[in-house]
Amino acid sequence: MDLSIVIPVYNEEESIQELTEWIEKVCTDSRLSYEIIFVDDGSSDSSWDKIITAAEKNKFVKGCRFRRNYGKAAALYTGFEEAAGNVVITMDSDLQDIPDEIPELYKMIMNDGYDLVSGWKKKRHDPFVKRITSKFYNRTARWSSGIKLHDFNCGLKAYRLEVVKSIEVFGEMHRYIPMLAKEAGFKKIGEKVVEHRARKYGVTKYGLDRFIKGYLDLLTIGFITRFGKNPMHLFGTIGTFMFLIGFTMAGYLGIRKLVFVTNHLRAPLVTNSPFFFIALTVMIIGSFLFLTGFLGELLNRNSSERNSYLIKDRVNI
């Protein structure tokens, strides 16, 4: 099979039939074998009924439904588990991503050798607040990951099948899938300018809470990709450094006390100096950070994925 098209759905009942017919026409005209996998993320409208109707009309349409709303990352993960096409394409169900982009995205994966191609909504039809926050997200993500993409959060992406089978999307990590792919060893990541249309039906699901969650997730993914298998490298280093600073400060107070005593001078109480309490606090924090790294290593040692490494090729094995 050439294509698996994974589409998360949340209260988009008006667009499902039109989107299905549009994808069918594009894939048929391009002579691409395909499957459409709708994942209903706990919709409260008749989206699931529309998916059932689409599946009855088109044997290449599949669908599954969550009992409640889990979020886009969960929907994508479920769709990736079901996907079987050589190329996996994700797109939103609100018709803002257009299926006409599918053939070119497929060619960039199969012919140009990309592992992942992300859409770039160069001209966006989104609310002002969403455009501004996306610029902050993308700038920070580029800086922290080294991946030169203009639009990390574009729903329209294409992946080599091996990529989606090798990464785990959870929480709100769908925004940073390129970072997960890079960490897994898939480094040929490109982008394509795609057409972005104004919303035709329904309302946006964007909320201000995503602004906070997005940056928290960026911190999480940054930690996981750098120190997920060696947490002691981060916590142990910082903890040791802080402990040494505190120990040095305490040592200075102790030596100062001895100098006074040796010279038969009245020595001030060590506890009268604010440096004593600062040194004590820094040493305690450093010790806790070191222990955090140590406990992280113990947990990692007992993890079932502690020796899970992706093998690219084999010979005579």
pLDDT averaged over 10-residue windows placed end to end, the chain, 317 residues: 94 92 95 95 92 93 91 90 94 91 95 93 72 76 82 90 89 82 89 84 63 68 70 87 92 86 80 86 93 82 55 50
Residue 231 in 3-state DSSP? Answer: helix
**Whole-number pLDDT of residue 104:** 95
- Domain ranges within the chain, ordered by starting residue: 3-227, 231-301
**Whole-number pLDDT of residue 307:** 46
Nearest to 125 by CA among 52, 206, 63: 206
The answer to whether 14 and 203 are in contact (CB under 8 A) is no
Q: List, in sequence order, every residue forming a beta bridge with 62; answer none if it has no partner.
A: 37
DSSP letter at 172? T
Per-residue model confidence as pLDDT tens digits over 4-52: 999 999 999 999 999 999 999 999 999 999 999 999 999 999 999 999 9
Query: Considering only the top CATH level, what class is 3-227?
Result: alpha beta
User: To the nearest 10°, the Cα dihedral for 220, 169, 180, 218?
Assistant: -30
**Strand order across the 189-193 sheet:** 61-65, 34-40, 3-9, 87-90, 157-160, 116-120, 189-193
Tell me how long the chain is.
317
Count of Cβ atoms closer than 10 Å to residue 31 Cβ: 8
**Whole-number pLDDT of residue 316:** 47
